[in-house]
Amino acid sequence: MILIGIGANLPGKFGSPRAVCEAALEKLDLMGVRIVQRSNWYRSAPVPISDQPWYINGVASLMSDLNPFDLLQLLHQVEREFGRVRALRNEARVIDLDILAYYDIVESGLPTLPHPRLHERAFVLYPLAEVAPGWRHPVLERLVADLIAELPDGQRIEIETPLVRGVVTASTIT
């Protein structure tokens, strides 16, 4: 299973950060990357803590004939087309697309697989658990539920839950 993380905390040419994330998934589909499943969207405080706006985050599982390097290049191409400029680490961004895992491949090159910090991030693990509840970290050999239970305190995340008549509300996870 190929898993990617999707995130944004700045509006872009498609509107709100959530609209940008949804448009990025649509763009990937148009480029031949099949979206198999995606999580709900989550709102999360920036990590590390800063005065940036909160992020919208999700996870999608994919089918693709691309190898990890070529998939990463495609994700970076979509980021550029959507207006992402990489200047500083952990800066606010209009879109962020990361390969979280590519089957059970462990790679220290480009890209690093699995993503080196995914097990430390609530905004990755909660949506990942929706898409792949039985997923096991190929290096740590821990199930996603165990990784969630081991998260450090203090990461603020909320799930956006659709209600009747299209109203959206947020409920606190941690």
Secondary structure (3-state) at 65: coil
In the numeric block, which tokens belong to residue 80? 């550029």
Would you call 136 a catalytic residue per the annotation?
Answer: no
Out of 34, 96, 156, 165, the active site residue is 96
Out of 18, 38, 43, 98, the active site residue is 98
Would you call 165 a catalytic residue per the annotation?
Answer: no
Contact 159, 171 (CB under 8 A): yes
In the numeric block, which tokens belong to residue 53? 């706006």
Q: Which residues contact 166 (CB under 8 A, 6 or more apart)?
A: none
Out of 70, 84, 153, 165, the active site residue is 84
Amino acid, res. 124 = V
Would you call 98 a catalytic residue per the annotation?
Answer: yes
In the numeric block, which tokens belong to residue 96? 């962020």
Out of 18, 38, 93, 121, the active site residue is 93
Per DSSP, the chain holds a count of helices (H) and strands (E) of 4, 7
Amino acid, res. 159 = I
Helix segments in the chain, DSSP class H: 17-30, 68-81, 122-131, 144-149
Would you call 84 a catalytic residue per the annotation?
Answer: yes
Contact 2, 62 (CB under 8 A): yes
Catalytic residues: 84, 93, 96, 98
